Chain A
Amino acid sequence: MAKREDKARVQVGRPSEVVDEETFSPLVDVYETEDGATMLLAEIPGAKAETLDIRVDKGVLTIAADGALPDVSEEYVRTYSGFTGGKYFRAFALSDEIDRERIEASLEEGLLKLRLPKAAAAATRKIEVKEI
């Protein structure tokens, strides 16, 4: 089977998902790479790329997705149930150092990867003192 990689878009705005009992908080790994970017990996198995909703609003990064298990006909009887599908939702506070415009996201085999680059250091501006 060919591996699939979907590019996801990051939006700016308010999260609209309602958190309820069927919503899971995905497991994440967060680490910094050598070039100073922060990588966020979130496990969202079964999530369809089109239901992926990633937003940054007032310094809060939210990740939402619908992850359903493949449909199974009524004839099947559950003899062992270890996990179910459901919605995924998690929110993170972003440090001001992150450049929101350049966040990249990709989804591969149920693993969402976000790359959060640091903003280029603000150039030092010399402040001119005018003679009064």
Chain B
Amino acid sequence: MTALFRWPSGWDPTGTLRHMQREMDRLMGRDLFAESRSIGGGTYPPVNVLNGPEDILVQCEVAGVERADLDVSITGETLVIRGSKKPPADAGKARFHRRERGFGDFNRTVVLPDKVDPGAVEAELHAGILSIRLPKSEAARPRQIEVK
């Protein structure tokens, strides 16, 4: 994963590379969840961190994860997204023809680029995307400085 600094909102130069990476992961049957259990958290769920003047937005891709199985917490400048993706309920000992999605516990740590106000953080789950809005603390907001 790459940390991109100061790219404009809409541009994603490594998009094609990541697309290929994902296809390769799928073809090789790589278990993304195995990495999540490693120290410091892994690469699931994929996140986007967008830094705005007033707040920080964190988007996470968690398709198929129930709201009740998600745990979002913040300590200082560290955001932790934890949860569990359950295997299909009616699968039981069923015969799988393909198993690409993966399941299990995940744990992702995101270090935020600025100080935020922990009491004002909002998280919303819609269509499998978790959107977290973290308003910046007063000191982190841009201030106009008057030049005398």
Contact residues of A with B, CB < 8 Å? 1, 3, 21-22, 24-25, 27-34, 38-39, 41, 43-48, 67, 69-70, 72-84, 109-111
Residue in B9, B88, B131 whose CB lies within 8 Å of A78: B9
Does B104 touch A at the CB level, under 8 Å? no
What band does the interface of chain B fall in when counting residues whose beta carbon is under 8 Å from A?
35 or more
Does B23 touch A at the CB level, under 8 Å? yes
CB-CB under 8 A for A110 and B63, given A78-B9, A80-B48: yes
Complex CA distance for A3 and B51, rounded to whole angstroms: 29
* Neighbouring B residues of A72 by C-beta, 8 Å: 9, 50, 57
Inter-subunit contact B90/A39 (CB<8 Å)? yes
CB-CB under 8 A for A27 and B100, given A78-B49, A109-B127: yes
Contact residues of B with A, CB < 8 Å? 1-12, 14-16, 18-19, 22-23, 26, 43, 46-53, 57, 59, 61-67, 88, 90-92, 94-102, 110, 113, 124-129, 131
CB-CB under 8 A for A76 and B52, given A43-B128, A109-B65: yes
New contact pairs (10) apart from A30-B99, A79-B4, A82-B1, CB-CB < 8 Å: A21-B16, A27-B102, A31-B97, A74-B9, A76-B9, A80-B4, A81-B2, A84-B48, A109-B65, A110-B129
